[in-house]
C-alpha cells in the first residue's frame, strides 16, 4: 500500500505509532507498487480508502488466476464501471469469464482503475466469489 494511503487509513490519531510502523518499510521491500494483492482466495487488504482521482492497482500475488469485477449495483450511480478485461458491465464480465476465462489476471499481472466519483465500490473475484473473495474501495472527497 502507498504510504500516503496508509497514513490516511490510520488517521492522525495514530501519530507516532503509525510513523514508527513505517520506519522499516523502505529497507524491507519498500512500496510493492500495488495497493491490493490478490492472494489465493482473498483480496489483501479487503478494504482500501483513497481520494477522488486516485488510482488503485491490484496485483495477483498468488499462483491462482483472479478477476477484479465491480458489482454493478454496488458502485455510485455516476461512477464508471470497472472490471479486469475492460468490460462495460457485470453481466458482460461474467459471460466472458464463463466463455473463456475473460478478464483473468495471472500471477504477477496487474489491473488498475482511477476513481473519479466519491463513494463505496464493492467488487469481486468471479472464480472465487463463492469462497467470499470480495473487496471494497472507499473513495473520499
**Cell numbers for 46:** 479487503
pLDDT, the chain, mean = 85
Spatial distance between the Cα atoms of 99 and 115, rounded to a whole number of angstroms: 29
Q: Which CATH architecture has domain 33-140?
A: Sandwich (2.60)
- Per residue in 42-52, is it b (16+ CB within 10 Å) or e — as a string? bbeeeebebee
Average pLDDT on 39-64 reads 97
Q: What is the pLDDT of residue 32?
A: 85
For residue range 96-123, list pLDDT tens digits in order: 999 999 999 999 999 999 999 999 999 9
The residue extents of the domains of the chain are 1-31, 33-140
Q: How confident is the model at residue 30 (pLDDT cuts 50, 70, 90)?
A: low
Higher pLDDT, 30 or 123: 123
Amino acid at each position: 500500500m502507498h504510504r500516503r494511503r496508509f497514513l490516511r487509513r490510520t488517521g492522525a490519531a495514530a501519530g507516532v505509532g503509525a510513523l514508527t510502523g513505517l520506519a522499516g518499510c523502505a529497507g524491507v521491500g519498500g512500496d510493492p507498487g500495488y495497493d491490493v494483492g490478490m492472494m489465493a482466495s482473498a483480496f489483501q487488504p479487503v478494504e482500501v480508502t483513497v481520494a477522488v482521482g486516485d488510482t488503485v492497482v491490484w496485483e495477483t500475488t498468488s499462483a491462482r488466476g483472479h478477476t477484479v469485477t465491480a458489482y454493478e449495483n454496488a458502485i455510485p450511480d455516476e461512477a464508471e464501471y470497472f472490471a479486469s478485461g475492460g468490460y462495460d458491465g457485470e453481466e458482460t464480465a461474467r459471460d466472458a469469464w464463463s466463455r473463456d476465462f475473460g478478464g483473468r489476471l495471472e500471477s504477477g499481472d496487474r489491473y488498475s482503475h482511477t476513481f473519479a466519483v466519491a463513494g463505496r465500490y464493492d467488487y469481486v473475484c468471479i472464480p472465487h466469489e463463492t469462497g467470499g473473495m470480495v473487496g471494497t474501495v472507499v473513495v473520499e472527497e
